[in-house]
Chain A
Amino acid sequence: MMPTVDEGTEKIFSYCIHCAGLCGVIAHVKEGHLIKVEGDPDSLNNGGTLCPKGLSAKQEIYHPDRLKYPMKRSNPKADANPGWVRISWDEALDTIAAKMKEIRDRDGPEAFVFQKGSTGGSSGTEWYRFFHRLSALYGSPNHGGTGHICCYSRSCPGLPTHLGGKGQHPAIDYARTNLIFLVGYNILHTHPPLARKILDAKQRGAKLIVVDPVLSPTAAKADTWLALRPGTDLALFLAMHHVIIRERLYDSEFLASWSNAPFLVRDDNGLFLREGKAYVVWDSDAERPHPADPWLPPEVKPALTGSMSVNGTRCRPAWQLFFEMVDKCSPEWAQEITSIPAEDIRMVARLFATTKPASTDWYNGLHRSSNGFYTAVALALLSVVTGNWDVPGGLSFESDLMFKDVKGSQFLPEGWVQKSLVAAAGFKAREYNREYVGPMNLVADAILTDKPYPIKGMLALASGVATSNPNSKKMIDALRKLEFLAVGDIWETPAMVAADIILPCATHWESEFVNYNAPYLMYRRPIVQPQHEAWPDIKIVFELARRLGYEKEFWNGDIKTAFNEMLQPLNVTVDGLAASSRGIRYLPPEPHYGKYAAKDKKTGKPNGVATPTGRLEIYSETLKTLGYEPLPYWQEPEPGPVSTPELFEKFPLILSSGFKPMHWLHGQLRAIPWLRECDEEPRVWINRRSARGLGIRDGDVVMVETPKRDGTLQGSVRLKAHLTESVQPQVIYIPYGWWQGCSSLDIKDSGYLDGSANINNLYDDSFTDPVSGTIGMVSYPCRIRKE
């Protein structure tokens, strides 16, 4: 019989922050050793459940392959073996601070890049605000992140030009929705606390529709799986708009009152007609123009369609322009592009428009495409035109920021946006949104070309920068060219071969923070002390700040004082929270809906939304003035069989990558044996019929090769084949995030360049979305052969 190990253990209440789900956990600790972690039944998020990542805390903390102490290289940069030598934290941080000062004084602060990875793994959602503060004080406008390969048009920054709410994210009440429309989002695995809520909704009769080129675990649960050619989601959504408009299933009253659909757009320049500062609508009863500030008196019924002349200027309502555009996008047109039968598109459009409330949400799968921005816009507008915006069970946006903002943007030097690599690369919408964090391919380009200016140094924390970004060869070449690179992580990662100094970081289980894990506002204490000489990232940031002379701005180095400032809006202190093992019960106010209609107390006018017009934007004049299309127009994904047919002559298959299983967090955790036993190695998913034609059997080792933009070889991966009917015959699917071995199970690192398992070795990173900068990865040309 098993020893009853939890007898005599101390229970520490905490939460897992491996992903944005934030699950409450109970850690059982005995004499300072973690015994196990379980879900906390009192947590409103997870209700006692817990996913494989959180359950594996013990193997993460006590893993023998963790980085144990700071090290510096003793061999030249070109050497494949850095010759790591153990150093003290003082030496490591003094060296980093000295190099940061040297580069800033000699080349300017923009020559030093602050780089962060995904928000999980080392509780990035928590400490990144202090990393931002450090880069702001240092004065660098170049802070590299992951939005360009993840979720730019969802929450980083979101769709502020169309829906307002920069940095907010969709939040759906699954207890109240009657239709769940998910796009490129394996939500059952990637947001574990929502999994049971979605299946509960389905069991009470809500319909689940999933758009995904691959039968993901979430698609496998759908009432309707819309399997489409990768990267063509936009055509599907435009055709749904077509059906909704043709069949008059849209909510014209909502559009007239709260969107800019009635605003008159000038035929001559595509800008809104203005009367003074006000926009103008066409009063359909009085048959004359009427100003909108942006609101209208209730008696004015604005026209949504037609063409009219105002003082000699021809105009059409924005909705008329939207209608004219989608009128060309019939379901039959979309069938040709997407391969979804036209009748299915009609059925789904009708179902979406007539089921109230209907919700939609989207994630990575939608973004990693050169048309990702407009795809997200067209999808979000489905909720707006059908009156499902900001209603219970519809699409509403929420902010996580219940704490005081301590990112320190006020410390940034004047003109920082214009100085950033993002602005220099011509991403006008990102510049307009004043975005802090930019795509890493721009950083690699700048390092390699010294244009628009040289980049000399980088500090990368919690980031698999070499393998998480497309074009791994280029990224590693760029990192090697840096004058100085410091990398902190839990494990040794491929980027470290180019580093001057590496830092051992603590897992989130070994670090502290304050956070809200409903219903508890909690001070999260370390459940065990950091192993070896590992430090929490937040401590690294604070200690560097001190060495750089920002002690005062960093609360004199006292992390708890910083937490207290974050907690100010909640009228509690860290000590107040720490007094109880669970923190304090804090029930958030009920979610508010129809926030746009709430009236400002002073003016008596509705608050509207935080877009340029104050209304939800069907037509974005701002994009137009920035040089982009004002409407979400159809464009083929690049690369793709239609947009770059020349690349598909020699590389005839479509490579797609996307859904993530619950046990992985992007490229992390592959060394954890419990998790690795769930999923020992990545496999190439090939349709059975295509595989037969290629002479490939299940389990065969295959090489997958891809081209660069110019048709020459970009790179290869070597993996085993998984024969399946879950992908289209022209598509192969390869999971991402693979390179790391698992010594405990005698699995070696695969490497990360040619012949490895690293899918990012297969992508040229130059096919970018001109608005968002996201990189075209879902529809990439490739060929496959048996080894």
Chain B
Amino acid sequence: MARYGLVIDPSRCSGCYACLVACKSENSTAPGVFWIRIEEKELGEYPKVSRTYIPMLCMQCGEMPCAQGCPTDAISKDATGVILIDQEKCICETTKPCIGACPFGVLTVNNGKKTYFPDFLTPFEKEAYESHPQGVVQKCDLCYHRITRALLPACVQTCPTQAMVFGDIEERESNLARLVSSGDAEPLNSELNADPSVFYLK
């Protein structure tokens, strides 16, 4: 069985936001809704100071902590290891337990403005933006519609510094599996034992 995941190299991430814009372009997410974001960390005192950029997105955790609080079983794991949210079943009106349960803070609610240019949508934009119902919880699905057609997730494809590697962790010969098994890459907050499929190079 496949298990799709990512290895992210923070030493190559320059904080350029191409991943964020590629995600918006590919998935037509609403204003203010981000399925990937970048965390900046500054450490030290001038001039001995460092800054790192960490792309944050759904970690596709094997343990699915987000699903544990879901009253309608809207969150499930696909045969490829990708965690999917069934928009029809996502019905919590006010408190959405999955959001608080996610240790990485990468679930978002599709609220607010529906489109960027309300009076100015091409027919296909309209179709794309309307595919996101208001009030549902959304997140990165590794561009499921792309990876199931042998394309890279949009963020991985566009990254100008090639800081992200996509692949199948179960495929032992893959670059990704090698990085993970060598111990060079680790998930964030590994002490939580959430079993993520997204790893970060040390």
Contacts and interface: CB of A to CB of B under 8 A. Distances in A.
A704 interface: no
B14 A195 contact: yes
12 contacts: A5-B124, A5-B128, A36-B26, A49-B157, A52-B20, A188-B161, A196-B160, A199-B161, A220-B50, A663-B21, A674-B116, A728-B47
A744 interface: yes
Contact of A55 (B18, B27, B51, B117): B18
A673 B31 contact: yes
Interface string B37-75: 000001011110111110000000000000000000000
Interface stretch (A57-65, A90-98, A357-365, A566-574): A57-65
A225 B157 CA distance: 30
A293 interface: no
Interface string B121-145: 0111101100100000000000011
A729 interface: yes
A225 B47 CA distance: 9
A52 B17 contact: yes
B24 interface: yes
A596 B51 CA distance: 42
B7 interface: no
A424 B76 CA distance: 74
Contact of A218 (B14, B24, B123): B14
Contacts of B144: 1-2
A36 B51 CA distance: 32
Given A51-B18, A64-B120, A195-B14, A39 B25 contact: no
A305 interface: no
Interface in B94-130: 116-117, 119-120, 122-125, 127-128
Given A55-B22, A678-B21, A744-B116, A39 B158 contact: yes
For the complex of A and B, list the 3 residue pairs with the smallest distance between their C-beta atoms, beginning with the closest: A662-B16, A678-B17, A33-B122
Contacts of B24: 674, 677
Contacts of B128: 2-3, 5
Nearest to B152: A48
Contact of A52 (B11, B18, B157): B18
A678 B52 CA distance: 17
Interface of B: 11-12, 14-18, 20-22, 24-28, 31-32, 34, 42, 44-47, 49-53, 116-117, 119-120, 122-125, 127-128, 131, 144-145, 149, 154, 157-162
Given A63-B117, A745-B31, A36 B25 contact: yes
A4 interface: yes
A663 B117 contact: no
A725 B49 contact: yes
Interface string A627-667: 00000000000000000000000000000000001110000
B16 A37 contact: no
Contact of A49 (B45, B49, B159): B159
A4 B50 CA distance: 41
Contacts of B145: 1-2, 4
A36 to B, nearest CB: 5
Given A221-B11, A227-B46, A729-B46, 6 more contacts: A5-B124, A36-B25, A188-B16, A227-B47, A674-B116, A678-B17
B27 A2 contact: yes
Interface string A213-225: 0010110110001
A196 B31 contact: no
A745 B112 CA distance: 11
A39 B190 CA distance: 34
Interface in A207-257: 215, 217-218, 220-221, 225, 227
Contacts of A744: 31, 116-117
Nearest to B52: A220
B199 to A, nearest CB: 18
B18 A50 contact: yes
Contacts of B120: 62-64
A159 interface: no
A1 B144 CA distance: 9
A193 B162 CA distance: 11
A544 B32 CA distance: 44
A189 B131 CA distance: 33
A46 interface: yes
Contacts of B131: 1-3
B51 A215 contact: yes
A49 B17 contact: no
A127 to B, nearest CB: 26
A678 B37 CA distance: 9
A512 to B, nearest CB: 22
A468 interface: no
A241 B22 CA distance: 45
B157 A674 contact: no
Most chain A CB atoms below 10 A, which of B20, B46, B131: B46
B162 A196 contact: yes
Contacts of A34: 122
B21 A674 contact: yes
A674 B25 contact: yes
A30 interface: yes
